[in-house]
Amino acid sequence: MHDRVCAVVLCLAWAAELVLIATPVPALAIAGATALAAFLVLAAMRTGGHIRALFVVVVAASAAMAWWNEVPQALWHGFERAQIFGAFLPSVLLLRATVEASPRLGRLRDSFVRLDAATSQNSTLYGSHVLGAVLNVGAMSILAPVVARDADRGQRRLLASSSARGVGAAAMWSPFFVAIAFSSQQVPQAPVWQVMAVGVGLTVIGLALSHLLYTPALGGAGFLDSVAKLRPLVVPTIVIVASVVGASLALGLGGLQSVAVVVPVFCVAYAAALGGRAARRVARRTFESFAKLGDELFIVVGATILAATVSALPAVQSLGSSVTPGMISGVALMASVVFTLVGLGLAGLHPMIGVGILLPVLAAGEFGIHPAVLVATAVFSWGLSGSISMWTLPVVSASIHFGVPVRELFTRRSLAYGLLYAIGGILYLGAVNAVLGPA
C-alpha cells in the first residue's frame, strides 16, 4: 500500500511538471512542488540511512550558508529547479520498461550465446554501452544472465568490469543519464547537444582504451562480429536520441525538459504498437518502479538545493570580476576538476555533490573554458568515477548482476585504466576548448 501511494504521488508530480513545461501556471507549480515534497516524505521510510543522512547534511549546510549570507530564497529556488527531475526520472523509468518489453531484446540475447572470452568481454562492453545509453544500469540485468551463464569467477569479474566501463562511458554523452541532465542544469548557457557531441569523443577514447588494456588480442574480425550483434538496438537508439536533441533545438528546451516531453510520446506509441497486453505490462512495471526512486530523488534534490545556494552566494557571484585566468584556467583547471571529482568519487562522495559545488563557482568566473566543455568536464569526471569506483551505482550493479564481490572490481588494471583515461580525456577536452574558444 505504501509503495502504491508513493507511486501515485510521483505520478501527480510528473503530470504537473509536464504541463508546466508547456505553460507556466503558478497554482500548478505549487501543486507539483507539494507532490514532490510529499513523495520525499513517504520515500524516506524505505530510503537507505546513509542517503537520508547525506540529504540532511547537504540541506543543513545549504541552509546555514543561505542564512549566513542572507540569501534564504536560494533554498526555494533550488527546490524549484529540482522539480523537473520529478518528470525526468519517471520518463527514464518508462523508457526502461518499454525497452525491456521489446522483442528486439530477445534477438539480442540469442546472439550473445556461445562467445569466446575476449569476444564476450567486447560484446558486454558495447552491449552495456548501447543498452546503458537508454537503460542506464538496467542494461546489466539484461546482459549478465546471458554472457555470464557458464563463466567462471575470473571471467565474470572481467565481464562485470566491462559492463561498468560500458555504462560509465555511456554517461558521458547520453541525455538519459542524470550526469548530463544535472550538470547542464548548472550551466544553462551550455547547449545540451554540444555537451553530447563533446561526450562522444570522450566515449571513443574510453572504448579504445578498454580494447588496449583488456582485449588487445581480439582481432578485427572478432571485434566487428561482437559489435554487429548490437544491430537490433542501433536504429531505435539513434531515433530516440536524435528526437531528444531535435526537441531541444526546435522547441528551445533544456535536456531535462526534452527527455521529459519526448520519451513518453515514443513509449506510449511503441507500447500501443506492441499490443494491449504488452502495453499493460509496460504501464505496470513503470508504476511499480516509481516507489524505488527515493534514493535518486533525495540525492538530486539535495544536490540541486546545494548548487543553487552556492551560486547565489555573493562571493561566488563576484568571481566574474575578481578572478583572472592567470590564477588557474584552461587545461590546468580542467585537470583539477577531473582529479578532484574522481578522487572524491573513489572516496565515496557522490559525483553530484562535487559537481553541484564546483560548477556554479566555475560558471561564474572567467576561467577560459567554453560552457559546453566545462559541463563535459564534469560529466566526464562523473562517468569515469562510475566506471571504476566501488561506491558508484554502475560498479555496484555490475557486482550484483555478475555475482562478483565489489572489491574485486577495483584492481591495478582498473586503476591504470582510470588514470590513462583521465589523462587522455583532459588532453582531448583541452583541444576541444581551444577550438571552441572560452566564450
34-93: pLDDT as tens digits: 999 999 998 888 777 778 888 899 899 999 999 999 899 999 999 998 999 999 999 999
The answer for residues whose C-beta is within 8 angstroms of residue 285's C-beta and 6 or more apart is 97, 100, 101
Q: What is the mean pLDDT of residues 318-340?
A: 76
Mean pLDDT, the chain, rounded, equals 88
201, 198, 206, 197: which is closest to 167 by C-alpha? Answer: 206
Residues in the chain: 439
Phi-psi region of 136 (alpha: psi -120 to 50; beta: other; left: phi over 0): left
**pLDDT confidence band for 419 (50 / 70 / 90):** very high
Q: Range with the lowest mean pLDDT among 106-120, 122-136, 189-203, 423-437?
A: 106-120
What would the pLDDT profile of 372-406 be if each residue is shown by its tens digit? 999 999 999 999 999 999 888 899 899 988 989 98
Is the per-residue pLDDT at 132 higher than 80? yes
Measure the CA–CA gap between 369 and 156, rounded to whole angstroms. 41
In the predicted model, is pLDDT for residue 103 greater than 90? no
Question: Which candidate, 378, 336, 383, 327, places its Cα nearest to that of 166?
Answer: 383
**Tens digits of per-residue pLDDT, 341-370?**
999 889 888 888 889 888 888 887 778 899
Average pLDDT of the segment spanning 308-312: 86
Mean pLDDT of 194-220: 93
- Name the residue with higher pLDDT: 219 or 358: 358
For residue 13, the model assigns a pLDDT of 93
User: What confidence score (pLDDT) does residue 231 get?
Assistant: 82
Average pLDDT over residues 206-234: 86
Confidence of residue 232 (pLDDT cuts 50, 70, 90): confident
Percent of the chain with pLDDT over 70: 96
Alpha helices in 112-230 (DSSP H): 117-135, 138-147, 153-170, 178-186, 192-214, 220-228
Average pLDDT over residues 10-38: 91
pLDDT of residue 328: 67
Determine the pLDDT at residue 37. 93
For cell 565474470, the residue is: 156
Q: Mean of the pLDDT values across residues 263-268?
A: 92
Can you read off the three cell numbers belonging to residue 129? 554501452
Higher pLDDT, 222 or 322: 222
Please, which pLDDT band fits residue 320 given cuts at 50, 70 and 90? low
Q: Tell me: the pLDDT tens digits for 235-244?
A: 888 888 999 9
